[in-house]
Amino acid sequence: MLWYILKLLVMLPLIAALVWGSLKLARGAQDRFAAKQGPRSVRVIETQMMSPTLKLAVIEFHGREILVSVSRGGIARLAEAPARQQAEGAA
């Protein structure tokens, strides 16, 4: 029984350190790959949860803002308008 507890006290911190190191490496790799992609043509401006299974999202694509509904059944375009200019310095 003493041998089991000793192994447990040694292995638990070792496993925790391996998990932490793996997460740090994954985050670093994700940041490096995201930086290499360059400018994107699609940008999510805003999302709003309407219910646990329904979300509304405003997406900017090639100078247009598109309102879409996202649910378990799929994605549906609801409306489209010209992109608004971002007000700089507005509080």
55 and 28 both lie in a single domain = no
| Residue 88 domain flag | no
| Residue 90 domain flag | no
- Rounded Cα distance between 88 and 5, Å, is 61
**How is residue 32 written in tokens?**
């490096």
Beta bridge mates, 61: 42, 64
The parent domain of residue 19 ranges over 1-38
Q: List, in sequence order, every beta strand (DSSP E) within the chain.
A: 42-51, 54-61, 64-71, 74-82
Query: Residue 91: its pLDDT value, please?
Result: 44
14 and 2 both lie in a single domain = yes
Rg of the chain over CA atoms, in angstroms? 23
Query: Is residue 80 within 8 Å of residue 65, measured between CB atoms?
Result: yes
Mean pLDDT split into 10-residue runs, the chain, 91 residues: 91 96 90 72 91 94 93 94 66 44
Query: Residue 10: its pLDDT value, please?
Result: 93
